[in-house]
Amino acid sequence: MIVSAHSSLPVAIFVITGGAVIGSFLSMLVYRLPLILKRHWERDCREALGLPQPEPGPTFNLAWPGSHCPECQTALGLQDNIPLFGFLALRGRCRHCHARIPSRYFLIEVLTTLAAVATVAHFGLTARAGFAFLLTAGLIALSFIDSKEQILPDVITLPLLWLGLLANSAGLYTSLPSAVWGAAFAYLFLWLIFHAFRFATGKEGMGYGDFKLFAVAGAWLGWQMLPLIILLASLTGAVYGIILIVTGRLQRSTPMPFGPFLCWATWIGLFFGWPILAGYLHMAHGHL
Ligand SMILES: [Zn+2]
């Protein structure tokens, strides 16, 4: 879709503001969701073991309490809560106790804003852009949660899986059969690798969250895109791991989450998958 110069400024403001606000929500989600899930798991475990439940603490969910400093618990004022600018104005420190606010949360807001701009620039103001942005936002949240907590929560992966199938029921990115087979193949492929690896080495190299995340990629982009995504994720993951080991920041035996690499490879597949595949087929054809 071509946006005329006359309407491009309001569109740009809408996209950037929307991206920053969603980014602010994502940074809150990345911080709170693992804490909420851990409380649930603890409660379930205690119930299964017949242990007494701890005293219920103050309410803590995605909406309550409002944003506060994780160090001194002081509630954030209105001006500190503005996406992007709040962090910059405070120079990354709490107004009251001057504790450092992890720059990860600012990075999430920046990335989400850039993703909103990139999505509209790439797909225009279309339904494809809207859905692509939802997938990108989900991938950003998953990669940050996985890199910090080594979990890929079902409450994010499963809705993304259904959303991809729904989007492709209208053929937004691929045909519905390709999407359904993509999701099934992807899950099965990593499931097989996981069990073969465990059988051969006795170790677990991945988690079930990785299978579901790869199934998300299949549901959105179709089975044709799976080899590209798994190749890109494995290669970048291996290079990153080697760099960390060589620079002494990672022990050889420490597991490294695979989710962030699957997320980033899925995003590349969403934006550039077909041009990359076409280029590859063109090259392969030239060598025949
Ligand atoms: Zn503080």
Span 58-103, pLDDT tens digits? 888 888 888 888 888 888 888 888 888 888 888 889 888 999 888 8
> DSSP string covering the chain, please?
-PPPHHHHHHHHHHHHHHHHHHHHHHHHHHHHHHHHHHHHHHHHHHHHHTPPPPPP-S--SSSSSPSB-TTT-PBPPTGGGSTTHHHHHTTTB-TTT-PBPPHHHHHHHHHHHHHHHHHHHHH-SSHHHHHHHHHHHHHHHHHHHHHHHS---HHHHHHHHHHHHHHHHTTSSS-HHHHHHHHHHHHHHHHHHHHHHHHHHS---S-HHHHHHHHHHHHHH-GGGHHHHHHHHHHHHHHHHHHHHHTTSS-TTS---SHHHHHHHHHHHHHHHHHHHHHHHHHHHHT-
Query: What is the model's pTM?
Result: 0.93
Q: Letter for the amino acid at 273?
A: G
CA of 76 to the centre of ligand 1 (A): 9
Q: Which residues contact 232 (CB under 8 A, 6 or more apart)?
A: 261, 264, 265, 268, 269
- Beta bridge partners, 131, equal none
**What is the per-residue pLDDT for 267?**
98
Count CB-CB contacts under 10 A for residue 162.
Answer: 12
Among residues of the chain, what percentage have pLDDT more than 90? 68
For 184-205, what is the mean pLDDT?
Answer: 91
pLDDT at 275 over 80: yes
CA of 95 to the centre of ligand 1 (A): 7
Q: Letter for the amino acid at 40?
A: H
Q: Which of 132, 103, 95 is nearest to 267 (CA)?
A: 132
**What is the per-residue pLDDT for 84?**
87
User: pLDDT tens, 174-187?
Assistant: 999 999 999 999 99
User: pLDDT tens, 140-165?
Assistant: 999 999 999 999 999 999 999 999 99
**Which residue is it, tokens 């054809």?**
285
CA of 100 to the centre of ligand 1 (A): 8
pLDDT band at 1 (very low <50, low <70, confident <90, very high): very low
CA of 38 to the centre of ligand 1 (A): 24
Q: Which residues contact 165 (CB under 8 A, 6 or more apart)?
A: 176, 179, 180, 183, 219
CA of 82 to the centre of ligand 1 (A): 17
Q: What's the chain's average pLDDT?
A: 91
CB 249 within 8 A of CB 228: no
With vertex at residue 174, the alpha carbon angle to CA 173 and CA 176, rounded to the nearest 5 degrees, is 120
For 183-196, what is the mean pLDDT?
Answer: 95
pLDDT at 244 over 60: yes
CA of 138 to the centre of ligand 1 (A): 29
CA of 267 to the centre of ligand 1 (A): 35
**What is the per-residue pLDDT for 74?**
85
Say which residue, 207 or 209, is predicted with more confidence: 209
**What is the per-residue pLDDT for 6?**
54
Residues in the chain: 288
pLDDT at 2 over 60: no
CA of 30 to the centre of ligand 1 (A): 19
CA of 273 to the centre of ligand 1 (A): 44
Count CB-CB contacts under 10 A for residue 70.
Answer: 13
CB 213 within 8 A of CB 258: no
Sign of CA dihedral 169, 175, 181, 183: negative
Q: Letter for the amino acid at 286?
A: G
pLDDT at 201 over 90: no
**What is the per-residue pLDDT for 67?**
85
CA–CA dist 279, 82 (Å, integer)? 43
**What is the per-residue pLDDT for 81?**
83
